[in-house]
Amino acid sequence: MKYPYTQQFRQNLVEWFHREQRNLPWRHTKDPYKIWVSEVMLQQTRVDTVIPYYQRFIDKYPTLESLAGADEEELLKMWEGLGYYSRARNLQAGVREVVEKYGGTVPNNRHDLQKLKGVGPYTAGAILSIAYNLPEHAVDGNVMRVLSRVLHITEDISLPRTRKIFEKAVDELIHPDYPGDFNQALMDLGAMICTPVSPKCLLCPVREYCLGFMEGDADQLPIKTKKTKSKNEYYDVYIAVNDGKILFERRPSEGLLANMWQFPMMPKKQPSENTWEPFELKYNVTITKVLEENFVEQKHVFSHLTWNMSCHLIEISENGPFPDSVQFVTLKEMEALPLPVPMAKIMNILNRYIFHSPE
């Protein structure tokens, strides 16, 4: 059966949005570049988290060209703490492509946009509808939740193919006069009213057009089956000092936390495994003094794995050349390097209890 409330739904939704929309920094511009930046930052990331990052990022890289010319390590530093760091590199690659191939003008069609690095179906639709006011779908988890309830769609949203059902639904529902506002209204509704748990149906502006509310099972939707499995990993982390400098290494250019910096880490199969000698061999150093053995056990949870880190403060001497990507840095130099959060946590502990201790 065809959804019978298309006209009322889109009109009430957009009117509600015009009254109640959130005041967000990227809503004061129609610059496709800035919309693009905001949408990439918002991938799998909460609005409140993104806001300060977006402000600083646009201050530093106000134009497409300025980002295209940015130093990659500096760029990663701007992204530090935001997560999914390949987004930053892909964004810059995409921006460079726009400068070279499109003369600095962000494409205004889905075909060209989706060929840009880091731009998928959602981000392309968001840019097209918000910056260019084109009637294009922008389906993310938020939209799937809202529309699964409004249209009572019971397909499993953890299956990739299900997204197409929602794209088709948006194609029919989208407000032809206010496509950008319509898409953003779905987001705001999902964030403020149609929340994952305890949706506030009694405050909802489109309650009377919501099939899920009529059925009384809106809060049971969407259907999502896939579970996340996580595994434990164990490491010894060595804060190795020599003459006021600290041994540091850059992670590989691909994979987890690519190109970010860290204290040397030795993986362990078992928490009890001893890695002191393998550490000396791998880094070409000799441990001359153990200052604090296991001064903290630091745990860090990623979405797909957990790091369990035993941290040791030691003094070392250098025997031969370091492996590539390993070097001594001063505390000052370290501040300019992009650190993943687990390393920043350890750094904070060091600053509070070791380096700045009154003794």
Q: Which of 176, 255, 320, 358 binds DNA (CB under 7 A)?
A: 255
Which among 51-59, 186-194, 315-323, 351-359 is the span making contact with DNA, rule CB under 7 A?
Answer: 186-194
Q: Which of 2, 19, 28, 46 binds DNA (CB under 7 A)?
A: 46
Q: Which of 135, 199, 264, 340 binds DNA (CB under 7 A)?
A: 340
Q: By CB under 7 A, is residue 123 in contact with DNA?
A: yes
Contact 237, 292 (CB under 8 A): no
Give the CA distances from residue 45 to residues 40, 81, 87, in Å, rounded to whole numbers and listed in that order: 9, 11, 12
Site string for DNA, 66-105 (x = CB under 7 A): ---------------xxxxxx---x---------------
Token reading at 96: 């460079």
Q: By CB under 7 A, is residue 30 in contact with DNA?
A: no
Token reading at 229: 């499995």
DSSP string, 180-223: HHHHHHHHHHHHHTS-SSS--GGG-TTGGG-HHHHHT-GGG-SB
Site string for DNA, 141-170 (x = CB under 7 A): xx--x-------------xxx---------
Q: What is the distance between the terminal CA atoms of the chain, rounded to a whole angstrom? A: 76
Q: By CB under 7 A, is residue 259 in contact with DNA?
A: no
For 91, residues 6+ apart whose C-beta sits below 8 A from its C-beta are: 36, 37, 40, 67, 117, 118
Which among 51-59, 209-217, 282-290, 334-342 is the span making contact with DNA, rule CB under 7 A?
Answer: 334-342
Q: List the one residue out of 40, 87, 56 whose CA is nearest residue 259.
A: 87
Range 103-122, binding DNA (CB under 7 A): 116-122
Q: By CB under 7 A, is residue 256 in contact with DNA?
A: yes
* 272-278 own/partner pairs: CB under 8 Å, 24+ apart: 273/234, 275/236, 276/236
39 is catalytic: yes
Nearer to DNA, 76 or 350 (CB): 76
Range 187-226, binding DNA (CB under 7 A): 187-188, 190-191, 196-197, 224
Token reading at 112: 């060209």
Which among 101-109, 180-188, 263-271, 311-319 is the span making contact with DNA, rule CB under 7 A?
Answer: 180-188
For 269, residues 6+ apart whose C-beta sits below 8 A from its C-beta are: 234
Token reading at 340: 């993943």
Q: By CB under 7 A, is residue 45 in contact with DNA?
A: yes
Show which residues are catalytic: 39
Residues contributing to the site for DNA (CB under 7 A): 24, 26, 38-39, 42-49, 81-86, 90, 116-124, 126, 140-142, 145, 159-161, 184, 187-188, 190-191, 196-197, 224, 227-228, 230, 255-258, 300-305, 340-342
